[in-house]
Structure 1
Amino acid sequence: METHEREATRAWVLHPDLKSDAKRRPAPDALAEAVALAAALPDLEVVGAESVRLQRPHPGLLFGTGKIEELKARIQAAEVDLVLIDGPVSPVQQRNLEKKWDVKLLDRTGLILEIFSDRARTREGVLQVEMAALKYQRTRLVRAWTHLERQRGGLGFVGGPGETQIEADRRAIDEQLVRLRRQLDKVVKTRELHRSARAKVPFPVVALVGYTNAGKSTLFNRLTGAEVMAKDMLFATLDPTMRRVDLPEGGPEVILSDTVGFISDLPTELVASFRATLEEVLSANLILHVRDISHPETENQCRNVLEIMESLGTDPDVPVLELWNKIDLLPEDQRSALQQRAAREDRVFTLSAITGEGIPELMQAITDQLANETHLSEVTLKFSDGRKRAWLFDQDIVETENQTETGFDLTVRWTARQEKRFRDL
């Protein structure tokens, strides 16, 4: 029996290098990231990539007519099926370029939505992607297709013109969004119940955050032994994965959470839609900011992560440890200099999630950081648990106590270390 493998879609990546862009990044770095984005989609083969310098974008075509013809020749010669443009493209520009080049075209937002759609695994993740995609489509209805201008006839019950196709399409999308929001609300409530259940067994939450492809999932796997997808591709992880981890030297058990990677110019639709996915970060006792310290754009990536965390409403009082990952990729002299620099900082650590270098020091730092973090717990004791009750009062951590028919119900505020000692009594 013959099997036919699906042929890969041949893609060409273009990065518009706009001189007028105040946030302009070095073109080679921006193009490399765009190619990595494209590589994150399965069944996609990048057969060409280039930066195109522009004084300003052409309103109807993005590029000038001469450049369009020049690119058309290369695109046709390479038998390209899909052009990926690393930046925003208006519906009019998209329609005109697709006609000129006779190919399908996706802008940066469309590409990221495709990746998110391919990677989302949980019910919540899938719903969030669908909502983000619908919001994106809604913005692209204006003059996107010629049929949208025609009038659709009414039923005759009410006078006046019928509903235009564009209004009908918008209404259909809005109705779909309402349905998806209702479904998402149910899923979020279920997650809240799970979170409440975890709060009753109050392990501190340690959240991994960082720019996409910084090595979070690889570090997560090393710390937990879990087999989370950890590939060298952007957005390898989209749904938070959570595992329990035992800290060394009598430290507490913690819940470690791996999250979706951040990226520059993340579409606003996605920042809003994925807020719930990043809720574990908002409720974390400690945040580990993983950085690919070997990347030429590591400083800009760091700024992007901090800006997104601020926009999400992360509590500024939650401690953050900065992890300079991938030091194994650096030359010895540069690596040594970074290690000396990190040693002078209280909350900066160098490590390699691949080789394990620096992991013991990180685990100890997490233990030390959480040792002084306090949380509330409800404790039920029998009358025969006099020794445990006396210990709690000796520690001066009892906030309330009520006597019951069988013993005592207490509310205590303690550190994870005190809780572990209590459980071992």
Structure 2
Amino acid sequence: MRNGARQQAAIEILTSLETQRQPAADAVKAWMLTHRFAGSKDRAEIGDLVFGALRWKQSSAWRMGEDTPRAWVWGALRWGFGQSAQWIEDSLTDDPHAPAPMTDAERAALSGDNIANAPAHVRGDFPEWLDTSLTRIFGDARAEEGAALAAPAPLDLRANTLKTDREKLVAALAESPKLKGPPEFTPHAPDGVRIPWSQGRTFPWATEQSFVRGWFEVQDEGSQIAARISGAQPGMQIADICAGGGGKTLALAALMQNKGQIFAHDIDGRRLAPLKERLDRAGVRNVQIRAPMRTKDALADLRDRMDIVFVDAPCTGSGTWRRSPDSKWRLRPNALAKRLEEQQEALALAAPLVKAGGRLIYVTCSVLPEENEDAVAAFLASYVQFTPVGLEPVGLPAYERSIGVQMTPRKTGCDGFYVAVLQRA
């Protein structure tokens, strides 16, 4: 497929999203299944165009003067991926499958740039109804923080120190013909490896022998840092009560060197399904999976026993907009309200498990203060035996909040993670 045809494919997919409420990844996959002539490079390029259009949808519409899939795609090409207005126009020439020729208004818009006059939520490509929330935490920098959350994300890996170290992992990955360039060390997490984003290329990490051998897990650097902030040590008793697929469970097990015990639980037992296979591949032996029970409390015997209770709380995922840009446009106030209820339920489940002098670690992949320091403050008002622990020694270029720290792509280079540490008296 030629560049013009790829643009038209992206426009068709984005148009379908306007009428069918579904994740963008599903819409891209559905298009691919009905257009099997598209090769692997075509699929990668079309996917980047669709997600790029959604990343910069609002700023592209402002710049182009039209809020249409066509405007979003060309805006992404021009200001997101750095193509010139002439390149875009040339890509339409002599291609019967390309979008209709450019109008004079579109040509003028692509040749100029009026974004400096746009409000913060447009320049930052985030929903306008969240402007008040983001002003609370970022102030005048909210447009820049939003823009960083709209940019493509690298692929972060965590070297599994139960089997290797990151120097050996980097050496193994550097030999892979599937990588365009050598992997890098993450700047803050000592076991992290970063594969920079590259347009039109994806790294099929699941087929790497180093992954099959359990040498690494895919985990954003912010998530790795959150696990480290917990203070997990060999020999401890730890409950991970929102374990899900087990990403942080595995990171905690590595920090504990397989010594002590982790109890992995999630109120939705289906989310725990991948964990057993992941534990086996990683060589983890100190995790006990506690699936929810219908007739009794699966965590009752852990009350007042845990050195650490890790709460990776349900949230809007606003800190991961780099990886799922369509989710920010689907987010609604009622969804935020639901997440706030679920967070208090998770904290209420966690609190009784913490032993005297133990710690409760509260984590979200969100940048919204309602889900972060507000949620913790509400918990502390009811559970007076807990007090926040300062996190200044972590040495991160993060936002220090009244309670906890906030990481962001702009400040820390990772997803938007919030972490608070609460100690029981």
Short-chain TM bin: under 0.3
Q: More strand by proportion, 1 or 2?
A: 1
Which has the larger share of helix? 2
Please say which structure displays the higher CA radius of gyration. Answer: 1
Structure ranking higher on relative contact order (CA contacts 8 Å, 6+ apart): 2
TM-score by length of 2: 0.27
